[in-house]
Structure 1
Amino acid sequence: MSRLPGLFVVGTDTGVGKTVISAAIARVMTQEGRRVGVLKPAATGAVRVGDGWKSDDADRLIEAIGGGVALERVVPRIYKEPLAPSVAARRQGTPLLWDDLAQAVDESLVWWAERAEVMVVEGVGGFLTPMADRASIADLAIRLDYPLVIVARKGLGTLNHTLLTVEAALSRGLRIAAVVLNGSEPPQGTVAEATNAEELARLLEGTGPLVTVEYSVDQSLIPIAAVCMNWYDRASRPRGENVVG
């Protein structure tokens, strides 16, 4: 049994809107009639509710595919403090080892394989954010081997952050499905906001499509479907040996 095709949504930084874009992509494919699985291998900044957890990121992903999925199927590792997962886990007294995280991801993908036809996986923070002990989001990207959707902010500084992320991904042999320049905050009317999309399109020519998403007060209405992107066709299966089944 081959692993499902999928996309791995990563960011150039924290706060760029990865969850919003992940949920939007999942919602679009669900509305197209696809059976979509969603996964965020580790979430931080969660809240204890009784004996369980509440994660806004997980709730948004579950809502995007129509609900009815238990939190632990979407977020197998969850922590209270809004820190890099490896740091939050260590401070919580249970260090997150890479083998443990990899096994949790594999088990989640096996569970989804019987219920979905395509996966949308969301990372944490930026591309080199520590994910587990001595492992980063980049290591998880290599293991998953899904094409990346790189989410960047629209304002000042995004040229450097985006180009560094793209370079880091390509140097590891990863594929890039798209770069999303996301209006995660209300526009400030800066020159950077006005010129970044054109400049990135020029600098990233041949790397993958550049998608621009405008800011919306209601983030559940992000018009990702209006960019004429067939997200299912951008997804693909892993090429390497880490296929679950």
Structure 2
Amino acid sequence: MSRTIVVTGTDTDIGKTVFAAALTRALGAFYWKPVQAGIDEGGDIVAVAALGVPASHILPEAYRLATPCSPHRAAELDGIVIDVDRLVPPAIDGSLVIEGAGGVLVPVTPGLLFADLFARWRHPVVLVARTALGTINHSLLSIEALRARGVPILGVAFVGDAVEDSEVTIARLGDVRRLGRLPLLDRLTPDSLAAAFTNHFRIEDFA
């Protein structure tokens, strides 16, 4: 069955792109990052390619912005006005994984947050969260922000060392499915990532 899944996070640099790459490969899906802010190292499409997503399954961004900061500010610095009508999930033959930028309430434009964009799309969202200190607060706030806008939440995917109490507490208080946890890998390669995803997640929870 083909479907579209949005991958968002509780913050930036928490492993969202690594998880999105693993999910894209596991589903045999296409990958799309609608707005890339920060392109010194090529952006997230380079990262997901390095983690085994075929180039033929990586779709071009709607916007590539130079500065690694919130898209609304990065666009301003580049002298670009982001047209929200361009941020529509592409029609493709197969499943699609869409990765947001930063956290749920990061501004895409001065008047539109990523959570607002997800509400327009109406596709199920996977919230990627750290297991480190502070994750309960960040995760529950993100869940509340999504739910307030009617965004369907598929569940929470954790990244990091196991912290059982935090993971259980977020799932219970947030009333969300605990999808699994991607451990920190000593060597991050396409093979090690695929094995970790297979060992820690059930593909039927996504398919």
- With CA pairs under 8 Å and 6+ residues apart, which has the higher RCO, 1 or 2? 1
2:121 is equivalent to residue 121 of structure 1: no
2:90 is equivalent to residue 109 of structure 1: yes
Q: Which residue of 2 aligns with 1:8?
A: 6
TM-score by length of 1: 0.74
Contact 2:106/2:113 (8 A) holds in 1: yes
1:190-205 to structure 2, matched below 5 A, reads 193=163, 195-205=165-175
Correspondence for 2:183 among 210, 214, 220 = 214
Using the TM superposition, give the Cα deviation of residue 199 of structure 1 relative to its aligned residue in structure 2, in angstroms: 2.4
Q: Which residue of 1 aligns with 2:33?
A: 40
Distance in 2 (CA, whole Å) between partners of 1:66 and 1:39 is 12
Distance in 2 (CA, whole Å) between partners of 1:69 and 1:202 is 36
Q: Which has the larger radius of gyration?
A: 1
TM-score by length of 2: 0.86
Correspondence for 2:203 among 226, 230, 236 = 230
Using the TM superposition, give the Cα deviation of residue 129 of structure 1 relative to its aligned residue in structure 2, in angstroms: 0.1
Using the TM superposition, give the Cα deviation of residue 229 of structure 1 relative to its aligned residue in structure 2, in angstroms: 1.8
Distance in 1 (CA, whole Å) between partners of 2:174 and 2:33 is 27
Distance in 2 (CA, whole Å) between partners of 1:10 and 1:56 is 16
**In the TM superposition, what whole-angstrom CA distance separates every residue of 1:130-180 from its partner, at most 9, and x where no partner exists?**
112311111211122111100011111100000011111112111111201
1:1-245 to structure 2, matched below 5 A, reads 5-30=3-28, 36-47=29-40, 55-63=42-50, 64-68=52-56, 73-96=59-82, 100-103=83-86, 105-106=87-88, 109-110=90-91, 113=92, 116-183=93-160, 193=163, 195-205=165-175, 207-220=176-189, 221-222=192-193, 223-230=196-203, 234=206
- TM-aligned CA distance change 1:43 to 1:197, over 3 Å: same
Q: How many residues end up aligned between the 2 structures?
A: 201
Using the TM superposition, give the Cα deviation of residue 228 of structure 1 relative to its aligned residue in structure 2, in angstroms: 4.1
User: What's the C-alpha RMSD, in Å, of the aligned pairs?
Assistant: 2.2
